[in-house]
Amino acid sequence: MNIKYVFLIVVALVCLSSFVESAASGKKNGKLQIGVKHRPAECTRKTTKGDVLKIHYTGSLLDNGEKFDSSVDRGTPFEFTLGEGQVIKGWDNGLLNMCIGEKRKLTIPPSLGYGAQGAGAKIPGNSYLVFDTELIDIVSNIYDDEQ
């Protein structure tokens, strides 16, 4: 085989491996990533701290794509109060300013998820989490009575 072709193949492989490595590290940059998958045409109210939300979600591990939980599979949206520490910080931050009917993909670093300890047998420590979410309803706001 011509040495010129061998050299070109080696250079191409090095470039490809660098690209793959940088793409993978981009997903694991330690920051919350919020991707809007669907935004409704009309949005009369956005989520704020204190809102009681109904959310459908599917959670999986970034490393292997393994699903660890899903309200969709159970057929019942999950209800919680935004910004009150009832859920992981990645949710409290990533679901702000969301419209009813909006769908988001959250990629959550361990620091905003379950940290070094993980959660149960399905979420190892230091795991990056991916949540596909859909805001079903804003039920109320816990601060409405105080105003």
Which residue is catalytic, options 68, 78, 80, 137?
68
In contact, 101 and 135? CB cutoff 8 Å: yes
Rounded to whole angstroms, the maximal C-alpha distance in the chain is: 79
Would you tell me how many other CB atoms lie within 10 Å of the CB of residue 57?
A: 19
Domain boundaries, the chain: 31-139
Which residue is catalytic, options 55, 88, 108, 123?
88
CATH 3.40.50.300 fits 31-139, yes or no: no
Which residue is catalytic, options 34, 55, 69, 123?
69
pLDDT of residue 130: 99
| Pairing of β 129-141 and β 103-108 | antiparallel
The tens digit of pLDDT for each residue in 54-93 reads: 999 999 999 999 999 999 999 999 999 999 999 999 999 9
Asked if 131 is an active-site residue, the reply is yes
Which residue is catalytic, options 92, 108, 123, 131?
131
Mean of pLDDT over the chain: 88
Tokens 């794509």: give the residue.
65
Asked if 69 is an active-site residue, the reply is yes
Asked if 68 is an active-site residue, the reply is yes
